[in-house]
Amino acid sequence: MYIHYNYQVINLLLITNLIFFFIIVVLMAKLKKTNKAKKVAPEGYESPNDFFNSVFSDKKMIWMGQNTNHLHSDDFISNAMIKCVESKEYCKYPPPEGFPHLQNLILKDLGLEDMDILITAGGTESLYVCISEIVEPHHNVITCDPGYLIIDEFASRFSNEIRSIPIYNEECGYKLTPKLLKKHMDDNTRLVILIDPLNPLGTAYTKEEIEEFALIAEENDLYILHDITYKDFARNHFSIAKYAPNHSITIFSFSKIFGMAGLRIGAVITTSELIDCVRSALINDLGTNLIAQAGAIAALESKPKWIDRIVNTTRSNQRLIKEMVDKIPDISIVAYPSDGNMLAIDIEKTGINPVDLESYLLEKKIFTRRGKYTSKRFGDKYLRVSFSVPENQLKVFIDEFPKAIEELR
């Protein structure tokens, strides 16, 4: 009887400890999900929103800081949205997962007609809902530095660890490689982030690299999240969904090549099984802005009429920047040519702080971004510059940038 009583006490203690442990795990997970990193306002502004409102409101500002596209001189997209507004169909809710016509156009554009798709309010929402559903508290997520830091922030809310791999070196070609992935992954690695081409450096992946990533994903039962926001600026681009369809998720955005950043529209493309998981995370179950969807449909349908002009202009602009940079001692373009519509200019040898360079150019009505926006380790080395702007605006930058280096050196 005495021994039996002790077993009851022991069992009770074990159950109590398990319940306590479960409560702690739940509370920690909840804390992670709500612990958003505080954004620091640039000097002279009360908040980040105050800064961006100031930049946005200045109609003379040359917009080279957010990789936005200002080269659409035709009216295909705007006319479609105006027509939608005039129809007053905006008083109705659109289909919750997007208009089927738009879904089919995206899948055809990517050559992924056998995959499933959800229309979202931008690529950033796509990233969030995918990470929130695929990653569990015991998992780790592999990203790279430099990279799109908001992904690290999202992943930190749901995973045990973010393994941000330093790639700011020539040895790895300034990108996360299959070799680096094998070195840093383990049995708890659930998700690998490939931004392709990479924001902020513009590096992209070869067919052989994509095939190797696909093989790693299949052999280790992990997922590759393939963010292809800048794919149409690239000289060549290869979709991992074609090599590992059951272990990949493609993130699509209308913000860059289509010049629709302010309209917030994008998509998630993957298997129907994974789409079912992601669908459960969608908060906006009443559909994505139908005026934006009207513009997106027109953008894809008209794409053959403008894509070559825009891509050729960005490549010409990039060459002009390279010619300017080559004339200035102690600075260089990190990865040239860039396969995106942005590049990074390394200024470390000049001793100039990228924050000071950003501020100087802002006074000249040129909006660029300090390296810290896209890198925790290497942000003090470079300035990110996007070049999908009209040539006359680019020439203002080319004229002012050498003066800034001379002044601040």
Convert the pLDDT of each residue in 62-114 to its tens digit: 999 999 999 999 999 999 999 999 999 999 999 999 999 999 999 999 999 99
What pLDDT, on the 0 to 100 scale, is given for residue 1?
45
d(CA 203, CA 207): 14
Mean pLDDT estimate for the chain: 93
Average pLDDT over residues 297-304: 98
What ranges do the domains of the chain cover? 48-69+306-408, 76-303
Going by C-beta distance under 8 Å and a sequence separation of 6 or more, which residues neighbour residue 330?
347, 349, 350
CATH of domain 48-69+306-408: 3.90.1150.10
**Mean pLDDT to the nearest integer, 248-261:** 98
Q: 367 and 63 in contact (C-beta within 8 Å)?
A: yes
CA end-to-end span of the chain, whole Å?
Answer: 85
The answer to whether domain 48-69+306-408 and domain 76-303 are alike in fold is no
- Whether 370 and 379 have beta carbons less than 8 Å apart is answered as yes
Three-state SS for 209-255 is: HHHHHHHHHHHHCCEEEEECCCHHHCCCCCCHHHCCHHHEEEEEECC
- The mean per-residue pLDDT over the stretch 138-147 comes to 98
In CATH, 76-303 is 3.40.640.10 = yes
Q: What amino acid occupies position 135?
A: V
| pLDDT at position 285 | 85
Tell me the pTM.
Answer: 0.91
Would you place residue 43 in the very low, low, confident or very high pLDDT band (cuts 50, 70, 90)?
confident
Residue 169: DSSP 8-state: S
Strand partners, 145: 166
Give percent of the chain above pLDDT 70: 91
Reported confidence tier of residue 263, pLDDT bands at 50, 70, 90: very high
The pLDDT confidence band at residue 14, using thresholds 50, 70 and 90, is: low
Per-residue pLDDT tens digits for 146-192: 999 999 999 999 999 999 999 999 999 999 999 999 999 999 999 99
